[in-house]
Structure 1
Amino acid sequence: MKISPMETIFNIFNETATILQDELNCSYLEALAETGENLFHGNIIQEELSELTVKRLQKKYSELKIDMFSQEQIRKAYQLAILKGMKDSVQSNHQMTPDSIGLVFSYLIKKFMAELSSFSLLDPAVGTGNLLTTILNQMDDTEITSYGVDIDDLLIKLAYIGANLQSQPIQFFNQDSLEPLFIESVDAVVCDLPVGYYPNDEGAEKYTLKADKGHSYAHHLFIEQSINQTKPGGYLFFLIPNGLFESEQAPKLHKFLSEQVNIQGILKLPESMFKNPNAAKSIFVLQKKAPALKAPKQVLIANLPSLSNQSSMENMIGKIDKWFMENKLEQ
């Protein structure tokens, strides 16, 4: 039975990571990062390996010419290996953004950024980089300067190695995303918002959206930080929990958004995409206010159908295209 290109790459990732995991006595994800480095450099860079292990790895690596595969084939195989490693080691906040959601983001970014032949893009909660690389791989006709920030050193190492293997020149920063960022203002932000409380009460003090008492919501602070980091007239694309505006801190968020941005769209993802309907999410599109910039005549509000239902999706894309014709031509 013929195996797919993605399976071919995954099998090498998986087998070599398992060899390194046993030899280095480390986690599967750490070993995956190590094997990714080896594949990228075309060389075994770990010096402490036994001669037998080096030979086993060399044999496996010789079966794979990574540059013969497309960026998406590499990304999907790498993602599969990361998902295997995450099954037993990762907090829920570190879940990877599903491919289908990444493709919807890609479509929306293409539509909203269509007039720009080049732009800068930031993901302030980049994790393993899957959402960001999904978007970049769909937009190879546009020159994008991209940045990823994450506080988790293993996740960002996996993101950096994945980007290298996909030949995506992303600049990564391993830091608390809610501290000052060493990045110039960008044209667009994309973020699968980390939902929960921010433990650093002192760090939250500088934010308008800090809680009046107790811990502040990290997802509110991420929204504020992202808006601060965006150029006037720039766009922000967030994956938000459907209950974002139902908490006790929501009135403050609502007021802040009305002052800072024009809401462009809220696209509710199908509940079937989520194991728990209470965990369902939406894509929230904002544009940072700028002089002479008008709000859309009406906000794009849509309930997305199942992404596998082709006729319903084509119908929805037609509605979105119509909204763009009616609302973006006047800008």
Structure 2
Amino acid sequence: MQTTTVSELFSVFDQSVRLIREHRHISYLEALCTAGEIIFKGTAQDEELGKKLEPFYTDFYREGMTAEEIRRAFQLAALKGMKAEPRPGREMTPDSLVILMGHVVALLAGSRPFSILDPAVGTANLLTGVMNQAETDHIAAYGAETDDLMLKLAFTNANLQQKEIHFFHQDGLGPIYSGPVDFVVCDVPVGIYPDRQSAKSFELNGINGKAYTHFLFIEKGLRQLKESGYLFYLIPNQLFSEDKEHLFHRFIQKNAAILALLQLPSSLFKNAAAAKSVILLQKKGRGASVPKQTLLAEMPDFSDERKMRDFMIQMDQWFAR
């Protein structure tokens, strides 16, 4: 992948956003949605704005460019907007983790068609990043999101990458009409779920007397899976220590097998309290096989190329068993 292509595409987004903001006086992220829509459609309803943006949208798509390059450039632009106007819940999954999770899904799916859901899809950065690494183009993809602006960014992101994704403007813990899927991936929202009435329908409601959003999303993900399907989540490190009465432990024993639990390097996070791990579960049912040993590991710093290369080789060997 050529870094120059990603840089050039980011520059197109950034300059387009600047022109749109001067013209309409809207936020960076709102302007990014508008820029993406104009680039995708190749035209602007506003004639004056269209003339200013024409050099950008006519030269955006070029021979040899990939969806992954578009994703990375759009991600950089979205990150710039989020830093300018920070808001809780509007964070993006680090790119290194998108690549890691996409690699594992590709290992598990092989070249067969599959279906995938992200119940807290955000800008669709994780979902499209996973799709870009798949060995097949036959993917039925779904995403749910409550935040209007994040959903609009997700829709724009998917269009620019020419990905067919079915988006639902809704709470990811509500009914999602995707049908059972092969994979559920998610950078799980962390905290206390505010809808106490809806939380009562979950077995994992009431851990320590509370409705933790991150536990509920795990239960929801397993509900959405086909038998022997895979759940691959970014989870807070304190998840297991919060389970003081072993409610979660018993729930997992009954419904799934833990295939892997990888603690991520602390350098990825602002502080220890924000640190996360990735967990890979397989739902029980026909075709599911309990591993002789769960893959438990502390991942090396992503900037250490030698250690990361060795880790990826060991992980690939584990999945090949």
Moved more, 134-143 or 158-167: 134-143
Deviations 1:290-322 (A, max 9, x none): 147431111011111122323222322332233
* Aligned match of 2:74: 78
User: For residue 213 of structure 2, what is the amino acid of its counterpart?
Assistant: A
Q: TM-score, normalised by structure 1?
A: 0.90
* Aligned match of 2:117: 122
User: For residue 14 of structure 2, what is the amino acid of its counterpart?
Assistant: N
Contact kept, 8 Å, 2:188 with 2:234, in 1: the verdict is yes
* Counterpart among 214, 235, 256 of residue 251 in structure 2: 256
* Aligned match of 2:104: 108
User: CA 1:214/1:253 → structure 2, altered by over 3 Å: closer, same or farther?
Assistant: closer
Structure 1 residue 323: Cα displacement: 2.4
Secondary structure in 1 aligned to 2:84? coil
User: For residue 284 of structure 2, what is the amino acid of its counterpart?
Assistant: K
What is the aligned-residue identity percentage? 41
Aligned residues: 318
User: CA 1:211/1:110 → structure 2, altered by over 3 Å: closer, same or farther?
Assistant: same
The whole-number CA distance in structure 2 between the counterparts of 1:229 and 1:314 is 33
Q: TM-score, normalised by structure 2?
A: 0.92
Please state if 1:225 is matched with 2:220. yes
Please state if 1:146 is matched with 2:141. yes
Aligned ranges 1:1-331 → 2 under 5 Å: 4-45=4-45, 49=46, 52-62=48-58, 64-68=59-63, 69-114=65-110, 117-211=112-206, 215-247=210-242, 251-291=246-286, 293-326=288-321
The whole-number CA distance in structure 2 between the counterparts of 1:194 and 1:217 is 9
Unpaired segments of 5 or more residues in structure 2? none
Deviations 1:93-121 (A, max 9, x none): 2210011001110121122223x511101
Contact kept, 8 Å, 2:9 with 2:60, in 1: the verdict is no
Contact kept, 8 Å, 2:261 with 2:295, in 1: the verdict is yes
Contact kept, 8 Å, 1:211 with 1:249, in 2: the verdict is no
User: For residue 68 of structure 2, what is the amino acid of its counterpart?
Assistant: E
Contact kept, 8 Å, 2:185 with 2:231, in 1: the verdict is yes
Deviations 1:176-227 (A, max 9, x none): 1111111100011111101111111111111111127865111111111100
Structure 1 residue 249: Cα displacement: 6.0
